Amino acid sequence: MTAMRYRHLFGKTLRKTPQDIKSGGLALLLRAGYIRPLGHGLYSCLPLGLKTAANIRSIIREEMEQVGGQEVSVPLVNPVEIWMRSGREERIHADMIRFSDRHDRRYVLSPSHEEAFVELVRHGLRSYRDFPALLYQFQRKYRDEERVRHGLLRLKEFEMKDAYSFHRSPSDLNNFFPKMFAAYQRIFARCGLDVLTAESGVGYMGGEKAYEFLLPSEIGDDVILQCPSCGYRANRDVAKGGKQYGKGLPQLMEEISTPGIQTIEELSAFLKLDRSLLMKSIVYRTPEGYVMAVVRGDYDISEEKLSSYLGKPLLGYAGPSELASLGLVPGYLSPLGAGDAVTVVVDDSVAGSVNLVAGGGKPDTHVGNCNFGRDFESGHVVDIAMVRHGDRCLQCGENLEELRAIELGNIFKLGDYYTRSMDLLFQEENGKVLYPHMGSYGIGIDRLLGAAAHHLRDDHGLVWPASIAPYRFFLMGIGKSESVRREVEQLYSSISRDTLIDDRSESPGVKFKDSELMGIPWRIVISTSSLEEGRAEIFDRRRLTKRLVPLADLRSAISALREEA
């Protein structure tokens, strides 16, 4: 941390934001001179933003080294071959940018770096003696996101700390995993953020367990289900909960004419029936055939649960021509008589309810009083629905609550998926040749910066903790007296390293406002009158409190604040 004069600082505060962003952390980062937009999903860092990000990186570095991490780096651009080896090349679609060079070699802009790290360790992890290994990097990623969001929260090009651990066995991975969990908790706490942890999706790649570190936030993309009683907490994608089943005696099936009615919303309104009395069927394309997912109309399908159950990725919804080739009619899909060309996976909410209305399998027709077991069957009855607010906690019976949050980091037991597919082997002590087990651990740096800005603020601007603030002290004088100027300059040269001195000829009010907007933790003010009293004022940005400190004690007061930070 070096000192700076505000006059020289590049990226002054702005009176209004350069974009059409009125409020929140993003507006403050723009107005306070931390970041600038460059394009859709692309941001640049100004000096203040860069310093804050650098402080975040330092904290992460310390905590990674603490658990044995060693810093490395791999290129953003990867040869496509390593992605083909892992099998992800054919599984990741619109999100990943591919290109060819002038010699027709093919590359990708990596959205993550599992493959490159497996290649990195290929010559380094050969014997059981080389384990465990934790390697991390700070590197750019690129994801061609469908939509970018809220400035720094979902960028196309973004920086991540990604880490990968390699272990001799699943139990070694299991033993290491809690250390990383604890390191992540320390990282976010040191950044001044109160995070929650929740179980999250492990996908179809044989991952075993994953956790997210989340900041509860109204601008978050993630929805968490949590139990207020026992503490169970999981991402909606994977949360488990007891669904309420509709009870009653099965009635006779009946055909219902539903001209032009194709969606659950329309059907519910048309029949004046609650959505919990309807059946929703969606057909997905997978690498090996089609899958029809059936849930009750009041639930959404969790593609994560479905994909994880199937052990394969979903490649999107089947289109009209694909449905036609399966003998299915869009808008009137139904598991009744769906045929063998499509695998039917039925959520237990459907299997456990009675007398549901399903698609009729032909245009303008639905069928009432459908009952699983009697009218249709499937060997795949499983939980594929997204649990909701009010569903029962399976651990304690209490009602689950929904919470919106920003995912700041995740930790993931990958198992041996990558080492096995990419053929990375090591020799055990007993001479056996085995695949190492991997964990992966990510934190988005820009997202962390954006989330912190949104949550560490008040009406006056940003409120950084000293641990990540670009400068700890904002130093200014009031009045034109030479003695004030001299005192301020002397103080600056003696404490300068983490200090921004405001040497402009602006009014005190302007300087107060700017220092508060920028979120510098402590403002030190020397005025003609305070100087006469032999004192300086220290303003605490977070508490919005002032105190007067004798000039003779100022340096020790500043040291004490640094210690506290």
Residue ranges binding its own copies (CB under 8 A): 2, 4, 7-12, 14, 18, 33, 36, 38-40, 42-47, 50-51, 54, 65, 68, 70-79, 81-82, 94, 97, 99, 101-103, 105, 107, 109, 116, 119-124, 129-130, 133, 135, 140, 142, 144, 146, 156-157
Instruction: Compare residues 12 and 374 and give the one whose CB is closer to its own copies.
Output: 12
- Give least dist CB 141 to its own copies, A: 11
- Give least dist CB 76 to its own copies, A: 6
- Give least dist CB 82 to its own copies, A: 8
Instruction: Compare residues 62 and 401 and give the one whose CB is closer to its own copies.
Output: 62
Tokens of 159: 């920086």
Tokens of 4: 């700076």
Length of the chain: 565
Instruction: Compare residues 16 and 272 and give the one whose CB is closer to its own copies.
Output: 16
Instruction: Compare residues 158 and 177 and give the one whose CB is closer to its own copies.
Output: 158
Is 413 in a helix, a strand, or coil? strand
- Could you give phi then psi for residue 448, rounded to 5 degrees? -60, -45
Q: Which stretches within 243-373 are classed as H helix?
A: 264-271, 303-310, 320-325, 348-351
CA gap 397, 419 in Å, rounded: 40
Instruction: Compare residues 38 and 315 and give the one whose CB is closer to its own copies.
Output: 38
Angstrom distances, CA of residue 118 to CA of 180, 240, 302, 439: 20, 33, 30, 12
Instruction: Compare residues 19 and 263 and give the one whose CB is closer to its own copies.
Output: 19
Q: At what angle do helices 445-455 and 47-66 cross, to 10 degrees?
A: 110
- Which amino acid is located at 225 in the chain? L
CA gap 473, 469 in Å, rounded: 9
- Give least dist CB 448 to its own copies, A: 15
CB 516 within 8 A of CB 456: no
CA gap 1, 20 in Å, rounded: 33
Instruction: Compare residues 101 and 482 and give the one whose CB is closer to its own copies.
Output: 101
Distance from CA of residue 119 to its chain's centroid? 26
Instruction: Compare residues 33 and 477 and give the one whose CB is closer to its own copies.
Output: 33
- Give least dist CB 518 to its own copies, A: 15
Instruction: Compare residues 117 and 299 and give the one whose CB is closer to its own copies.
Output: 117
- Give least dist CB 536 to its own copies, A: 28
CA gap 237, 410 in Å, rounded: 14
- Give least dist CB 8 to its own copies, A: 7
Long-range contacts from 295-298, C-beta under 8 angstroms, 24+ separation: 295/347, 295/349, 295/350, 295/384, 295/385, 296/243, 296/347, 296/349, 296/350, 296/353, 296/356, 296/385, 297/264, 297/267, 297/268, 297/356, 298/274, 298/388
CA gap 294, 300 in Å, rounded: 10
Instruction: Compare residues 81 and 274 and give the one whose CB is closer to its own copies.
Output: 81
- Give least dist CB 278 to its own copies, A: 33
Q: Rounded to a whole number, what is the distance in angstroms from the first to the last CA of the chain? A: 14
- Give least dist CB 228 to its own copies, A: 40
- Give least dist CB 27 to its own copies, A: 14
Instruction: Compare residues 76 and 253 and give the one whose CB is closer to its own copies.
Output: 76
Instruction: Compare residues 102 and 543 and give the one whose CB is closer to its own copies.
Output: 102
- Give least dist CB 119 to its own copies, A: 6
| H or E element, residue 83 | helix 80-86
Report the 10 Å Cβ neighbour count for 279: 28
- Give least dist CB 561 to its own copies, A: 24
Report the 10 Å Cβ neighbour count for 380: 17
| H or E element, residue 238 | none
